[in-house]
Chains A and B, each alone.
Chain A
Amino acid sequence: MEIIHAHAGGQGSLLPILHALQETFGFVDRIATALVATELNLSRADVYGVVNFYSDFRSSPPGAFRVQVCRGEACQSVGGRALAEHATSSLGVDFGETTTDGSVSLDEVFCLGNCALGPAVAVNGQLRGRVGADDFDELVHHDTSSVRPT
């Protein structure tokens, strides 16, 4: 509620509220959408519709690490398609899914703005460039090793 109150009142405050909720909890809970709707005098359907429209907002808890693989054309031109296939097969999940051990959420993204140094990947918002299959394994293993069950 504090998060909602901190942002409510300004014009067009729904997206900032949803961003703040997601930053705190990792996802936007259905219960939270009801609270937001009441506070902003919107219908729950309105709020749900917004959460649902934007690919950033999750309705379930994310993995400990969010790995975004760029699928834009600039990355495609330097092996991005192969990297995307490698990412899904090596993690054993599809884009938009989280590994069963809860360590990694794999997302596709259309452009990270690193188009001269592709293929690009971001791990928890930290941008990486010239990522080959081996680099990807090292990056994901390195960055998630602390939470992997041994």
Chain B
Amino acid sequence: MTTVFVPRDSAARSVGADDVAAAIESLAAKRGVDVEIVRNGSRGLMWLEPLVEVVTAKGRVAYGPVTPGDVDDLFAAGFLDGDDHRLGWGPTAQIPWLAEQDRLTFRRVGLVDPLSTEDYQAHDGLTALRRALTMTPEQICDEVTESGLRGRGGAGFPTGVKWRTVLNAPGPSKIVVCNADEGDSGTFADRMIMEGDPFMLIEAMIIAGVAVGAREGFIYIRSEYPDAVTTVRAAIEYAYGAGWLGPQVLGSAHAFDLEVRVGAGAYICGEETAMLESIEGKRGVVRAKPPLPAIEGLFGKPTAINNVLTLATVTVLLTHGAAFYRDFGVGRSRGTQVFQLAGNVARGGIVETAFGVTLGELIDRFAGGTASGRPVRAVQVGGPLGAYLPPEQFDLPLDYETFVDAGAMLGHGGIVVFDDTVDMAAQARFAMEFCAAESCGKCTPCRVGAVRGVEVIDQIIAGQDTAANVALLEELCDLMTEGSLCAMGGLTPLPIRSVLRHFADDLDQPKAAHP
């Protein structure tokens, strides 16, 4: 019996992984070979999807990108023994693109069967939780603080400090919420964890519950991720069956219940207070802070809200210790960041590496330039609210502080590459358009400012009073930055200012002449 891995990750399926799995199954039957197909998560080498791996004497050997039409040829070439083929990459772990990464948070994604509790435990699963159950809540919070872990959702707030605030907040019951509303274009790491290693998220939620004194948790997943919703719900069911969730977590005195809530197509619900409103069954309108959710959050209770990557990373540092994790990274950005190479790249996917790597290294060494083969003109880092950076800034090391100082932000680690055909005026306009479409409408700078922003940029593009309108746009950016209630309106100026700063030519030389 030979084990063959074909990913079930929705990105792999989007380019034909299901058809490849079916082809392998039917051709194996036809050839009378005994093959077990395991649908794993994706290894994150999106440029090689569908990536087929075969378990051989040489280890796991990779072939990709495989189409159903290649499968007969693969059998003939002896891929079940790991033999050479034009699609062959040798042992997966030795593919340089993967070997040069520091896969900590993503250590299991793509390796295991996502819904096998045995496979999970065979790959270090539950080690962190078992350790946490021997610790006091204070000790867990301290260890998380010592690791230097900061919120990976974008804000970068120290996780241990947040947890301690919830732990110390008065109240008979507390709640843990996982923010899995990964709405930023260019990001897909949360989705891959939920589809590829859902038990890690469940384990982390329970640990968070023990640390802050909560007995219930919610995972808020966006509706655009139906496969993630199904996988996490199935994993929760298995976890209850295995006694990981429920009245006695792993036979301990701790109780923990977990539930998935599904969003409904509103980007703003990735903002933590809007998400709380949404879980409560209301319009996803941002709340004013204070009170902090850590003091008064979901249903008025003290609530620890963390992103998927943040929670997942807690299992790393509790398994290997705070010092191990802290040793990766630079400055106040400790550990690893899961970068997502996206857009016009030759080799897109997940690059998990220590903070401090430069943008240029990621784009040249890992992404291999653009997919179109044209020169890179701009890179948007950190989602729709992140700045567009020109190649002159590719020597910037990726850490929270350096990026803020450069008028940019790391956000959730999404890196979207554009080639030289991009019209940066259109990208600036889109930032305002997006804000206008997705604003919750609570505060005026965001609700009205974004609409006015589109109008002003349209006038600039049309060549009307360019200098005066650019000055007006700058003023509007100031107002939105200073006056908005949350990051939606507050950070929309970031991409626009970056266009004004680095790509002003696109605005000054209007594409369409005004009559």
Complex-state Cα separation, A130 to B342, whole angstroms: 12
Interface residues of B in 212-241 (CB under 8 A from A): 223-227
Contact of A55 with B by CB under 8 A = yes
B279 touches A127 (CB 8 A): no
Complex-state Cα separation, A76 to B416, whole angstroms: 10
Contact of A94 with B by CB under 8 A = no
**Residues on B with beta carbons closer than 8 Å to the beta carbon of A57:** 264
Contact of B293 with A by CB under 8 A = no
Interface residues of A in 53-86 (CB under 8 A from B): 53-57, 68, 70, 72-78, 81
B416 touches A111 (CB 8 A): no
Quick one: which of B13, B14, B281 contacts A50, CB cutoff 8 A? B281
**Residues on A with beta carbons closer than 8 Å to the beta carbon of B281:** 12-15, 40, 50
Complex-state Cα separation, A123 to B225, whole angstroms: 13
Quick one: which of A40, A54, A122, A130 contacts B265, CB cutoff 8 A? A54
Complex-state Cα separation, A20 to B214, whole angstroms: 28
B224 touches A117 (CB 8 A): no
A116 touches B280 (CB 8 A): no
B265 touches A115 (CB 8 A): no
Complex-state Cα separation, A84 to B349, whole angstroms: 24
Contact of A110 with B by CB under 8 A = yes
Of B261, B299, B380, B416, most A-chain CB atoms within 10 Å: B416
B343 touches A118 (CB 8 A): yes
B11 touches A117 (CB 8 A): yes
**Residues on B with beta carbons closer than 8 Å to the beta carbon of A4:** none
Contact of A49 with B by CB under 8 A = yes
Given contacts A56-B264, A115-B343, A117-B14, contact A73 B384 (CB under 8 A): yes
**Residues on A with beta carbons closer than 8 Å to the beta carbon of B419:** 77
A128 touches B14 (CB 8 A): yes
CB 8 Å contact bits of B163-189 with A (1 = contact, 0 = none): 000000000000000000011111110
B349 touches A12 (CB 8 A): no
Given contacts A75-B185, A77-B422, contact A127 B13 (CB under 8 A): yes
**Residues on A with beta carbons closer than 8 Å to the beta carbon of B267:** 110
Contact of B89 with A by CB under 8 A = no
**Residues on B with beta carbons closer than 8 Å to the beta carbon of A75:** 185, 343
Given contacts A50-B282, A54-B284, contact A116 B224 (CB under 8 A): no
Complex-state Cα separation, A68 to B426, whole angstroms: 22
Contact of A26 with B by CB under 8 A = no
Contact of B46 with A by CB under 8 A = yes
B343 touches A50 (CB 8 A): no
Complex-state Cα separation, A120 to B182, whole angstroms: 16
Contact of B394 with A by CB under 8 A = no
Quick one: which of A18, A56, A77, A126 contacts B343, CB cutoff 8 A? A77
A77 touches B15 (CB 8 A): no
Quick one: which of A18, A19, A53, A76 contacts B266, CB cutoff 8 A? A53
Leading 9 A-B pairs by shortest Cβ distance: A116-B348, A72-B185, A14-B281, A54-B264, A115-B342, A129-B14, A77-B343, A116-B46, A55-B265
6 contacts between A and B (CB under 8 A): A14-B281, A72-B186, A109-B224, A116-B342, A118-B342, A118-B343
